[in-house]
Amino acid sequence: MTLALDARRRAMLEEMGVVLFEHPAHSGDMHDTPPAPPRRAGGTADLRPARADAAPASAASLLPPDDAATQSAPVAARVRLPGIEAMDWDALEQAVAACRACKLCESRRNTVFGVGDRQAEWLLVGEAPGENEDLQGEPFVGQAGKLLDNMLGALGLNRHERVYIANVLKCRPPGNRNPQPEEIAQCEPFLRRQVELLRPKIILAMGRFAVQTLLQSTEPIGRLRGRVHRYHDVPVVVTYHPAYLLRNLPDKAKAWADLVLAQSVLRGEA
Ligand code: SF4
């Protein structure tokens, strides 16, 4: 355990909108003792909005998380590869790469399977690839990815160790439009198998479509935050999508509180 925050983590926390005022007697290490939620009056920690010059979002969902509207359109009957429930990681990745179960296969450049540690305790679930993700075949690149990396860094994590990142949809919706129900229904078995293979200790559901898919709930994120939910017996904590946070900077502090809750659940403290 270190006696004070190192400069790198402090910078990451500040990017997250968290400004720490360490009490003279404070000796907590970020990894072992994450900052508490806001205590503006007389506490040792304060959560403030970060700077307002972040770049615009590029990920798939740019709507406020409380917007309950979804798009729907007929889709031709398509066939997904059978046997997903028995696939190992490599077979599953190949199945996604070959998948033509919804019309997104026609416009994608790359499938975006997921990235990270296949023994991870943390599973972060976003919504769908954006333009950069479609180009690179990796989730959460670009500005939203940078913010997500900073969020992870503030907890002493990174996307390659103890963390796995996946999306509900593995292919980019054209023009970053919202995922459609038929697309989610076709793609969800891949995510479910990823959860089965990973067996994470905590899932962080980021954004409306991740939350709706995992929790089968249309309640606004604002009402689902701060509680522990379940997806096939795995604890789930709900938070905002990083792309949304880029446009709603004051909510970064709420996202930080969600991360702290998720870490507490993982440690059996909540
Ligand atoms: S989004 Fe999912 S279901 Fe649709 S083609 Fe891509 S991998 Fe298949």
Is 162 in the same domain as 34?
no
pLDDT of residue 21: 44
DSSP string, 179-224: PPHHHHHHHHHHHHHHHHHH--SEEEEESHHHHHHHH---S-HHHH
Tokens of 97: 């790469």
Which residue among 105, 180, 190, 194 has the greatest number of ligand 1 atoms within 8 angstroms of its CB, and so is best to mutate? Answer: 105
pLDDT tier at 3, thresholds 50, 70, 90: very low
What domain range includes position 23? 7-47
**CA separation for the pair 270, 267 (Å, rounded):** 8
pLDDT in tens, 176-234: 899 999 999 999 999 999 999 999 999 999 999 999 999 999 999 999 999 999 999 99
In a domain, 65, yes or no: no
Which has more pLDDT, 23 or 125? 125
pLDDT tier at 270, thresholds 50, 70, 90: confident
Q: Report CA(128)–ligand 1 centroid distance (Å).
A: 10
Domains held by the chain: number:
2
pLDDT of residue 8: 57
Please state, for a pLDDT cut of 90, what percent of the chain lies above it.
Answer: 69
Is 90 in the same domain as 187?
yes
Q: Report CA(64)–ligand 1 centroid distance (Å).
A: 24
Is 108 in the same domain as 225?
yes
Is 88 in the same domain as 217?
yes
In a domain, 210, yes or no: yes
**Tokens 């059996």 — which residue?**
268
- Give the domain CATH number at 224: 3.40.470.10
**CA separation for the pair 206, 145 (Å, rounded):** 12
In a domain, 73, yes or no: no
> CB of 171 closer than 6 A to ligand 1?
yes
pLDDT in tens, 127-162: 999 999 999 999 999 999 999 999 999 999 999 999
Is 100 in the same domain as 27?
no
In a domain, 217, yes or no: yes
> CB of 95 closer than 6 A to ligand 1?
no
In a domain, 142, yes or no: yes
pLDDT of residue 58: 31
pLDDT tier at 82, thresholds 50, 70, 90: confident
Number of the ligand 1 atom closest to the C-alpha atom of 108: 6
In a domain, 53, yes or no: no
Q: Report CA(80)–ligand 1 centroid distance (Å).
A: 9
DSSP string, the chain: --SS--HHHHHHHHHTTEEE---TT----TTTSPPPSP-TTT-SEEE----S-PPPP-SS--S-TT-------------PPS-GGG--HHHHHHHHHH--SSGGGGT-SS----EE-TT-SEEEEES---HHHHHHT-SS-HHHHHHHHHHHHHTT-BTTBSEEEEES-SSPPGGGPPPPHHHHHHHHHHHHHHHHHH--SEEEEESHHHHHHHH---S-HHHHTTS-EEETTEEEEEE--HHHHHH-GGGHHHHHHHHHHHHHHHTT--
Protein residue with least CA distance to atom 2, ligand 1: 187
Q: Report CA(160)–ligand 1 centroid distance (Å).
A: 24
Section 13-28 average pLDDT? 47
Q: Which residues contact 98 (CB under 8 A, 6 or more apart)?
A: 81
**CA separation for the pair 269, 150 (Å, rounded):** 24
